[in-house]
Amino acid sequence: MHGQPALPPDFKHLPYVNPSAPKGGRITLGTFGTFDSLNPMIVRGIAAEGLTGLVYESLLARNANEPFSLYGLIAKHIEVAEDRSAITFHLDPKARFSDGKPVTAEDVVFSWRILRDKGRPYMRGHYSKVKAAEILGPGVVRFSFGSIGDREIPLIMGLMPVLPRHAIDEATFNEPSLKIPIGSGPYVVDDVAPGTTLTLRRNPKYWGRHLPIRRGMHNASEVRYLYYRDNTALFEAFKAGKLDFRSENDPGQWVSGYDFPAIKEGRARKYTFETQLPAGMTGLVFNTRRDKFKDQRVRQAIILAFDARRINKQFFHGRYVRTESFFARSTLASTGHPASSRERSLLAPFGNVLKPDIMAGTWHLPTGAGDDGNRTNLRKAYRLLREAGYVIRDGRLLHRKSGQLAIEFMVLTRAQARVAVAFGESLRRLGIDVKIRQAEDSQYWARLGSFDYDMLQWTYPASLSPGNEQFNRWHSRFADTQRSLNLAGVRNPAVDAMIEVLLTQRDRAGFKAAVRALDRALLSGDYVVPLFHLPKVWVAASSRLDFPKTKVLFGTDVHMWWVKPGQ
């Protein structure tokens, strides 16, 4: 989308894989929660892990080292209109579904139509931008977009999963189902124990196994997903040797939790990988649909009350880094950089909603005092709350119209509860009534989808190619769309405009300016209490496994690892 692809037309394999990696063996992965569906394309039900990308695949595929470039997968050749108003896909005639039937142009159009009408909200949003879908001949499909000005939409269509028209009942597509899916990807579903186990088996007849984009990937003959009730049980399973691979996000556990026999005896090992990908934003999200959070001064006060230094030290050995950007750890982050002339021009119509220190690049989050009870920041917080009409009486923070300020934190995991409890201690010192509600898995997702919460912890992943997903997270058109990811209920003209602008940029410099401008608008809105991120990628894995030693932009990916021969 910006400039030329990094890889030549005749590339042999992705630069970060081992093209000669041995095939075979089983890799067992773990996750927590449950599942009751094998359809990851719809909002109903809880879909099992691993289906997208392993069972289903798309027309084009990413080189993970390279933002805004895609390479051929199901589509062997593409044509993009100069103004990006249309894209034509020429399918690889070798492409086959797992039942042996060819992937056709009719399957592609069928996939677009059913996902536009019945898919997840982000799919409906993306695919409704297509003005016309035409079959130009055997294996040739053109999608036209008109003059919508969205330069990313051709890439979005390239990443659309392709479904088998002959194996799907349109009438029941949007109902959760445990029917074994048929896809064109490298794996097929081999065994299912609803809610507990999903086993995928590498398809020995996988049509794309010799493609350059696939060489050196998907090396295990079997990938098994085991489900556990929570992250604690998941870690115990890894310690017991039931799992082969674990990404660790808890610094406290990384420092002191890996002294069990498997590590000491060399049956499992710890690895640290550098990463240049944005950390994204993990934060405690305000549901601004609630009247109590509509006043930004209340949100600012709550952010001030978060004693980041104490919580980082108490729970995480001080190893976390406080997150101060929605694109932290990357060149797209606005923090620490004064707004460029290009950014200022983009944001000029919205100056009244942007904080001067955020525009100047001097803004930083309050860190908390760590050992003095965060008294200075709590005093500042109380001043803001008084401005918003609150006063402390008999230890209760009261508003003359709405009574005591009460906040319920909805949490899913023990780790989330731990942070919420510690934060609640500070908030109670301000007279706020704090409740922690640990919801069951199904209840949590139901309440999340209907925006039935005050605050919750959420992670917004980020990449070097942000685009249409920002609509679903922040644009006002999704503020009232249930099951969208606009969890904060953001309705901000500056945010809306920056999302729309970033999709029209024709060069990398303009794109970077638009993303930084979006970052400044989001930070100025105080929609989350930012938490922390890891400085590096931490992985623990069975010594049965090995991986390429080439440095990669994104840390690592278990699907480019392999099982050592004879293990």
- Quote the pLDDT of residue 442: 87
Describe the chain by its helix, strand, coil percentages, rounded to 5.
30, 20, 50
Is the pLDDT at 370 greater than 60, yes or no?
no
- Quote the pLDDT of residue 51: 97
User: Rounded distance, CA 226 to CA 245, Å?
Assistant: 12
Is the pLDDT at 89 greater than 80, yes or no?
yes
**Residue ranges in 282-413 assigned as alpha helix (H):** 296-305, 308-316, 341-347, 356-360, 375-387
For the four alpha carbons of 240, 244, 249 and 251, in that order, the dihedral sign comes to positive
Is the pLDDT at 270 greater than 90, yes or no?
yes
CB atoms within 10 A of CB 160: 23
Total tally of structural domains belonging to the chain: 1
pTM: 0.80
- Quote the pLDDT of residue 164: 99
Rank 84-88, 110-114, 548-552 by mean pLDDT and report only the highest: 110-114
- Quote the pLDDT of residue 532: 96
Q: What percent of the chain has pLDDT over 70?
A: 98
pLDDT tens for 441-460 read: 889 999 999 999 999 999 99
Assign 2 a pLDDT band (cuts: 50, 70, 90). low
Mean pLDDT of 407-430: 96
User: Rounded distance, CA 329 to CA 339, Å?
Assistant: 18
CA distances from 301 to 285, 398, 525 (A): 14, 15, 13
Q: Identify the H or E element spanning 472.
A: helix 469-474
270 belongs to a structural domain: no
User: HEC states along 104-154?
Assistant: CHHHHHHHHHHHHHHCCHHHHHHHCCCCEEEEEECCEEEEECCCCCCCCHH
Is the pLDDT at 369 greater than 70, yes or no?
no
pLDDT tens for 125-182 read: 899 999 999 999 999 999 999 876 788 899 999 999 999 999 999 999 999 999 999 9
329 belongs to a structural domain: yes
328 belongs to a structural domain: yes
Assign 103 a pLDDT band (cuts: 50, 70, 90). very high
219 belongs to a structural domain: no
- Quote the pLDDT of residue 508: 86
- Quote the pLDDT of residue 367: 78
User: Rounded distance, CA 447 to CA 450, Å?
Assistant: 5
Is the pLDDT at 206 greater than 80, yes or no?
yes
Is the pLDDT at 468 greater than 70, yes or no?
yes
Q: Residue 404: give the domain boundaries.
A: 281-533
- Quote the pLDDT of residue 309: 93
Assign residue 330 the CATH number of its domain: 3.10.105.10
Assign 504 a pLDDT band (cuts: 50, 70, 90). confident
87 belongs to a structural domain: no
560 belongs to a structural domain: no
Strand partners for 225: 29, 198
- The mean of the pLDDT values for the chain is 95
425 belongs to a structural domain: yes
292 belongs to a structural domain: yes
